[in-house]
A and B are shown apart, each in its own frame.
Chain A
């Protein structure tokens, strides 16, 4: 049996039934990383010894009956922007290259309580700013399907690790599509939950009002199970929402009869790759055949989401990233004259070009004389976008569209034209602006052999609608996720 080809939930079952030990599972993951990561580059830190130690401890708890959840003993990889006590947390940035947090992020703690074994930290775009994982200061992650292509970003390391079967599942974070877009590019499944569902405590902030942590896994069942484990009301995060319901696995039902699905016309206009379009519309057909009511509608303001997003995210980032100054932690330049020179040199040497670009933009749009024209205008636009979605969800349970306009681009192509790269977020950013949940799951493969992602968007707190639709689609999907893993055999 190939342990790595199991899903997280399948592995969890086998561990519970004592068919596989936690140690065996961890060794399998570590071996897989050893074998593949030089080519894929998903990981920035691998916790070999610690993971083995944890494996033995967790096995003991399982044996004693203290742990019996579906994820007990299953190895996990964590995006490197979530603080983990005792494990380096770098945000794939030089400025945090030696940072050892004093505490662990709440979502990660929740997973540890569920018996997860952390095997490592995954690569990302520096501070989650980017759509290709190429802005990482540490390494470039490659798309496991074709190593000349990017894995997407910013959770590229997490998605590539799951796609290459270096781990059974991973956590990512999504500020403007950073879980859904790389999931789409890597042929895995990822959920960005409703804002406030997963605690942000310990997630190194990029755009505080947009950031959410979510699961990246092989299928919808895994994602729902992981989401159930990491979601919680957290008194340490003031924006955490006390939800009525944290039960996501009950939505794993193969039935979409009567589910109302809306397809925004604007999502299928210029700029959308024709193969992506065909695969996504085919997915809609599949769901319709299974009894969903599918219709096209006009979603307004689609083209205003990206500019509003970049103003808000950059503004918040410029302030959130001010704390990296060479005083309390992280990189400090070796030679400087006085305080302000120390600040400037440490930050200029410690941050990469994309991060600097966004900090500059963010500082500018907040500066005296421009605040109203840019920042306030963007917040008003956000209010209008939210309204458009509210209106749509009066009619539909789920909004269906692509996760990204194309399949994964080639390495080195995107950074040449930042604006073009930003435009790739067109289907994902509005979901963050409106605080909605979204899922991306595979719905086909392009002629080039690259995965295509389907995005399902739900109303706030209605993850269960998109989980149900995604699960039903997955059940009828002809496309086989194992095709890709074979490339490494």
Chain B
């Protein structure tokens, strides 16, 4: 068999985190009963007209600047004409001739090393509505709540050659955009959607092969599987002497298989022309500078600062900065309690554990840095012990209660009363002669059991240091 290399370019659609749609004042809130977030504009009623949301332009500019793009200072919108029921006007307002960002790049790092991935352009456009298929009546139902939600489409250069690189690039984009607050970038919920353009060519060939476009990729895993599958499929075709057809294919992740989406009614001739209902967007240097000046600290800079200023191990800094939400909590909580390593431990340990148990994303965290800091301080100043602290933190995680009041109300303060604890330890020793014997026979584990029994008898509130000390004295 011949040797092939894979050429991959991505089209990434990102739903922007604006409160309203791109051309009307309807809410972009996720969910909601069908068509309850709609108006004449986003349902294509006759006579309705679009008015551009300024925040969309600012987010698009911010993403462009953060990905080293040139910002187009004279922007226009164009109409892309095609018929489909999720597209109420039967044209999508998009940008073809003068997209807002061009010629950018991001740096990625994989096991294969560092690499720069080019960004061909980023343009603004409107999202389509949602189609739900009704098997019962053999029809489809259209919900326009999502119609008109602002999107940016980030079109990369065909600079990637493996699933690893694709995922590194997507992670990089996701972090930049999340750090900018421009989107939450959730693949599962569709706020980040990836179309993979892939072709294969013989090693050393001068021209790219025919590419296909793969849609419906809802997770990084699905992306990786689809890339591998499509690469194989194209190579097999070429090996059999057949040719690859340029087409759009839909990935079915359950069946690990893709199929062509073509139909004879899709002429693929979008008849783009300048949108006459919108005026040009002119971005002057001042506006550009204002957006640039609001640029947040991105991940790499933050990571270095955590290592240098807070003395965090690289491992900790790496995990915390992977999500802007965690980084924000880390910084605010540290500001209050001044214990960066403790904060980091709680985030990487208990917080991650609870997130995993509850199948939550860090973005969904609801506890406040104030209450989080209080838990840490309660342990630090000896008010509660570590075991109780975990219970208290769980409640804070779930309900964001005030831990000071909670500890007070539930009577969870640590028991530091040596005389009282000594009595309990004596009772425990008396009740467990076997363990005492084991201890004397060198079984170190036995002391743990005795500590546990004492804690239990003291309702978990005993100061473990004092209990240990008394036990060792008495044995």
Which residues of chain A have a CB within 8 Å of any CB of chain B? 82-83, 89, 91, 96, 99, 101-103, 105, 200-205, 207-209, 235-239, 315-316, 318-319, 322-325, 327-329, 339-340, 343, 363, 366-368, 371, 375
Contacts and interface: CB of A to CB of B under 8 A. Distances in A.
B88 A323 contact: yes
B37 to A, nearest CB: 15
B44 A238 contact: no
B90 A323 contact: yes
Given A239-B276, A239-B277, 18 more contacts: A83-B47, A96-B46, A101-B46, A102-B40, A102-B45, A105-B47, A208-B276, A208-B277, A239-B49, A316-B276, A318-B271, A319-B271, A319-B273, A323-B46, A323-B89, A323-B90, A327-B88, A368-B269
Given A363-B271, A366-B81, A368-B269, A236 B49 contact: yes
A325 B85 CA distance: 9
A341 to B, nearest CB: 9
B46 A319 contact: no
Interface string B68-108: 00000000000101010100111100000000000000000
Given A319-B81, A339-B85, A239 B279 contact: yes
B128 to A, nearest CB: 13
Contact of B50 (A89, A238, A323, A371): A238
B337 interface: no
Contacts of A201: 47-49
Contacts of A328: 43-45, 88
13 contacts: A96-B46, A102-B45, A103-B45, A201-B47, A204-B46, A208-B277, A237-B51, A239-B276, A319-B81, A319-B91, A325-B85, A327-B142, A328-B45
Nearest first, the 10 closest Cβ-Cβ pairs linking A and B are A322-B90, A366-B271, A208-B276, A209-B276, A204-B46, A202-B47, A340-B265, A323-B44, A83-B47, A368-B269
Contact of B51 (A103, A236, A368): A236
B26 to A, nearest CB: 13
B52 interface: yes
Q: Which of B43, B79, B277 has the most CB of A within 10 A?
A: B277
Given A319-B91, A328-B88, A83 B271 contact: no
A340 B266 CA distance: 10
A237 B24 CA distance: 11
Contact of A366 (B45, B273, B277): B273
Nearest to B83: A343
B278 interface: yes
A207 B44 CA distance: 16
Interface string B218-231: 00000000000000
B194 to A, nearest CB: 27
A203 B276 CA distance: 14
A327 B79 CA distance: 20
A205 to B, nearest CB: 7
A83 B79 contact: no
A36 to B, nearest CB: 29
Contact of A315 (B47, B85, B88, B273): B273
A322 B49 contact: no
Nearest to B77: A238
Given A96-B46, A101-B45, A322 B81 contact: yes
A208 B47 CA distance: 10
Given A83-B46, A201-B48, A238 B142 contact: no
Contact of B47 (A205, A340, A343): A205
B404 to A, nearest CB: 50
B20 to A, nearest CB: 14
B40 A103 contact: yes
A319 B50 CA distance: 15
A207 B276 CA distance: 9
Interface string B50-72: 11100000000000000000000
A22 to B, nearest CB: 28
Contacts of A324: 46
Given A239-B279, A322-B83, A339-B85, A367 B269 contact: yes
B51 A99 contact: no
A335 to B, nearest CB: 15
Contacts of B83: 322, 325, 340, 343
Contacts of B49: 200-201, 236-239
A366 B48 CA distance: 23
A322 B89 contact: yes
A368 B278 CA distance: 23
A99 B276 contact: no
Nearest to A203: B47
Given A323-B89, A323-B90, A327-B142, A235 B51 contact: yes
A371 B88 contact: no
Nearest to B52: A238
A324 B48 CA distance: 13
B265 to A, nearest CB: 4
Contacts of A363: 271
Interface string B16-48: 000000000000000000000000100111111
Contacts of B44: 323, 328
Contacts of A105: 47
Contacts of B40: 102-103
Contacts of A327: 85, 88, 142
B42 to A, nearest CB: 11
A204 B279 contact: no
A329 B45 contact: yes
A91 B46 CA distance: 10
Nearest to B139: A339
B48 A325 contact: no
Contacts of B276: 207-209, 239, 316
B301 to A, nearest CB: 39
Nearest to A341: B265
Q: Which of B43, B46, B90, B142 has the most CB of A within 10 A?
A: B46
A466 to B, nearest CB: 25
Contacts of A323: 44, 46, 88-90
A207 B81 CA distance: 16
B23 to A, nearest CB: 9
Interface in B378-394: none
Contacts of A209: 276
A99 B273 contact: no
A371 B51 CA distance: 26
Nearest to B279: A238
Nearest to A368: B269
Contacts of B265: 340
Nearest to B264: A340
A329 B144 CA distance: 14
A209 B50 CA distance: 14
Given A99-B46, A105-B47, A329-B45, A238 B277 contact: yes
